């Protein structure tokens, strides 16, 4: 048995673990990194990267079939499904070197390509090595959750971990789960020429602002996606190419392929947490505001920490714990400034409080300002006028923003900056945006907050009248 001593041991080479390893080693710490599967984790190999690559294929096909509005003849937009998957693989391959063993070893990280499991409060075994560390970071991420549905174990199905390797284009894709993953893949596949039915037990895109989510859902329906809500799955039966999904209320859905997209579960089963005195919770590992587990020498970050499950959250967590681990400084993770986006067309994004949450917390102090895309000149020129922004404002400061529309995932960045830095609406209004850009929507939203104060105020009009009378 080989014994290794290290300052920082990172378990898991997804986005969070890689960020910790790269940051810590470049600041002078001795770092050991464990990964028993693929470097880059879920995001690179099965999640963010391949899904956005496939969405790009669907967008290109859709653009061909809807070109006439720009004075260009419509084309069939025929997709070679296998070639589209080659495109996905190529995108992954281009990004993979940044997350590779070779790069991290080049930085000075000791990389061990094995899973790790705790054997004591300060020791982890990985293959034939026992690693003792001053600080340990659990960054093992999450995997697709597959519920125990009757008959599912007898029927072939896809998850996000297998979908991107599928070479045969589904004639009719059944998707169980109407969250972001389900809806993104539904639109990508309908645009690639598949029939698509989404089966959701509650409400599709139920975690987003309902007014804005409905704009997305109606867009998908208009493209041909069948969205069945309130359909709790009770049984799955059939065989490859002929699958049937039955709901508790008697509805039945038939298709050729099945994608399970009902959520994620934290990857903790290989860790032997109890041997390290680490308390698990439903959805992950119990952590405090500093992301420490019940073992003070061990941190948990990203999906496994049981909070928001986004790649950028894992990266943010990495920065929080590096401050604590390497410099001994107090550092706490917050969530109020964390944005997220769903990459449908139109996109859907959110940061801070939704309108409903803001009303509950702030009551009559809340003002909601709105601005629609159809008043933005660039959106008109691009024929992307479907959408709006809502900004929740309390005492002159934004507390949340919700956006649906073209480039909503880009527009939300400004509001994430504002919330992270406790900025005022006046600071947003002071920004000068180039014309014509989609980004003007953010400035116009700030303008919508001040317009009634300036243009509907009798006091302002009296002051202006007086000044005009006495100006030389």
**Residue appearing with tokens 């790790």:** 116
Look at residue 151 in the predicted model and tell me its pLDDT: 97
Look at residue 234 in the predicted model and tell me its pLDDT: 97
Q: Is 442 exposed, middle or buried (0-12, 13-18, 19+ CB in 10 A)?
A: buried
**Does 7 appear as a known binding residue?**
no
Residues 330/332/337/341 CA torsion (nearest 10 deg)? 130
Could you write out the three-class secondary structure of 173-210?
EEEECCCHHHHHHHHHHHHCCCEEEEECCCCCCCCCCH
**Does 30 appear as a known binding residue?**
no
Radius of gyration of the chain (CA): 25
**Does 181 appear as a known binding residue?**
yes
CATH 3.50.50.60, the chain: domain bounds:
2-39+100-144+265-327, 152-262
Cα 48–Cα 101–Cα 124 angle in degrees, nearest 5? 95
For domain 152-262, say whether CATH 3.50.50.60 is its number.
Answer: yes
Write down the architecture of domain 339-455 according to CATH: 2-Layer Sandwich (3.30)
Distance of CA 401 to the CA centre of its chain: 16
**Does 142 appear as a known binding residue?**
yes
**Does 182 appear as a known binding residue?**
yes
Ramachandran area for residue 392 (φ above 0: left; ψ -120 to 50: alpha; else beta): beta
Q: Residue 443 is inside which H or E element, if any?
A: helix 440-455
Start-to-end C-alpha separation, the chain: 91
**What gap in Å lies between CA 446 and CA 324, rounded to an integer?**
37
**Does 77 appear as a known binding residue?**
no
The pTM (predicted TM-score) of the whole model is: 0.94
**What gap in Å lies between CA 56 and CA 447, rounded to an integer?**
34
Contact 98, 88 (CB under 8 A): no
377: tokens are 């000149």
Contact 177, 263 (CB under 8 A): yes
Look at residue 313 in the predicted model and tell me its pLDDT: 95
**Does 141 appear as a known binding residue?**
yes
3-state secondary structure of 308: coil
User: Could you tell me whether strands 195-199 and 226-228 are parallel, antiparallel, or unpaired per DSSP bridges?
Assistant: parallel
Buried residues in 6-21 as b, exposed as e (16+ CB within 10 A)? bbbbbbbbbbbbbbbb
Compute the residue count for the chain.
472
**Does 178 appear as a known binding residue?**
yes
Q: Residue 316 is inside which H or E element, if any?
A: helix 311-327
Look at residue 470 in the predicted model and tell me its pLDDT: 81
Look at residue 471 in the predicted model and tell me its pLDDT: 80
CATH 3.30.390.30, the chain: domain bounds:
339-455
Single out the residue of 160, 132, 134 nearest to residue 146, CA to CA.
160
The alpha carbon dihedral of 438, 442, 447, 448 has a sign of positive
**Does 41 appear as a known binding residue?**
no
**Does 306 appear as a known binding residue?**
no
Look at residue 464 in the predicted model and tell me its pLDDT: 76
Look at residue 454 in the predicted model and tell me its pLDDT: 66
What are the pLDDT tens digits along the chain (472 aa)?
899 999 999 999 999 999 999 999 999 999 999 999 999 999 999 999 999 999 999 999 999 999 999 999 999 999 999 999 999 999 999 999 999 999 999 999 999 999 999 999 999 999 999 999 999 999 999 999 999 999 999 999 999 999 999 999 999 999 999 999 999 999 999 999 999 999 999 999 999 999 999 999 999 999 999 999 999 999 999 999 999 999 999 999 999 999 999 999 999 999 999 999 999 998 899 999 999 999 999 999 999 999 889 999 999 999 999 999 999 889 999 999 999 999 999 999 999 999 999 999 999 999 999 999 999 999 999 999 999 999 999 999 999 999 999 999 999 999 999 999 999 999 999 999 999 999 999 999 999 999 777 667 777 778 777 788 788 7
Beta carbons within 8 Å of 232's beta carbon, 6+ residues apart: 201, 247, 248, 249
For domain 2-39+100-144+265-327, say whether CATH 3.50.50.60 is its number.
Answer: yes
Q: Residue 1: count other Cβ atoms within 10 Å of its Cβ.
A: 7
117: tokens are 């499991």
Single out the residue of 198, 260, 202 nearest to residue 230, CA to CA.
202
């Amino acid at each position: 048995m080989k014994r290794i001593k290290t300052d920082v041991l990172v378990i898991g080479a997804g986005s969070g673990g890689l960020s910790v390893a790269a940051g810590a080693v470049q600041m002078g710490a001795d770092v050991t990194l464990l990964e028993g599967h693929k470097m880059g984790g879920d995001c690179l190999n099965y999640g963010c990267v391949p899904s956005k690559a496939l969405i790009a294929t669907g967008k290109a096909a859709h653009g061909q079939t809807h070109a006439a509005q720009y004075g260009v003849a419509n084309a069939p937009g025929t997709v070679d499904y296998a070639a589209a998957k080659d495109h996905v693989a190529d995108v992954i391959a281009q990004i993979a070197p940044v997350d590779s063993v070779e790069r991290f070893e080049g930085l000075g990280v000791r990389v061990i390509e094995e899973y790790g499991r705790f054997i004591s409060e300060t020791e982890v075994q990985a293959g034939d090595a026992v690693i003792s560390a001053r600080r340990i970071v659990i960054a093992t991420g999450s995997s697709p959750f597959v519920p125990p549905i009757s008959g599912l174990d007898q029927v072939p199905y896809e998850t996000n971990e297998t979908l991107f390797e599928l070479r045969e284009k589904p004639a009719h894709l059944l998707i169980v789960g109407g969250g972001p993953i389900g809806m993104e893949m539904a639109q990508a596949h309908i645009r690639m020429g598949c029939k698509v039915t989404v089966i959701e037990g509650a409400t599709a895109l139920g975690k987003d602002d309902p007014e804005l989510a409905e704009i997305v859902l109606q867009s998908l329906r208009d493209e041909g996606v069948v969205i069945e809500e309130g359909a709790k799955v009770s049984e799955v039966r059939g065989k490859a190419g002929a699958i049937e999904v039955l709901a508790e209320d008697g509805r039945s859905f038939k298709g050729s392929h099945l994608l399970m997209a009902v959520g994620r579960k934290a990857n903790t089963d290989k860790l032997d947490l109890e041997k390290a005195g680490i308390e698990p919770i439903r959805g992950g590992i119990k952590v405090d505001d500093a992301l420490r587990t019940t073992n003070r020498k061990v941190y948990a970050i990203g999906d496994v920490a049981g909070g928001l499950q986004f790649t950028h959250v894992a990266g943010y967590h990495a920065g929080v714990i590096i401050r604590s681990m390497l410099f001994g400084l107090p550092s706490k993770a917050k969530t109020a400034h964390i944005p997220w986006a769903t990459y449908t067309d139109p996109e859907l994004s959110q940061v801070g409080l939704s309108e409903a949450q803001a009303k509950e917390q702030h009551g009559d102090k809340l003002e909601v300002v709105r601005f629609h895309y159809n008043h933005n000149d660039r959106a008109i020129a691009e024929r992307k006028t479907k959408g709006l922004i809502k900004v929740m404002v309390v005492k002159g400061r934004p507390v949340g923003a919700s956006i649906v529309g073209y480039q909503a995932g880009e527009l939300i960045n400004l509001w994430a900056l504002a919330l992270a830095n406790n900025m005022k609406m006046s600071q947003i209004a002071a920004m000068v945006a180039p014309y014509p850009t989609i980004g003007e929507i953010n400035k116009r939203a700030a303008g919508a907050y001040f317009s009634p104060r300036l243009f509907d105020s009798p006091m302002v009009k009296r002051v202006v009248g007086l000044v005009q009378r006495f100006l030389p």
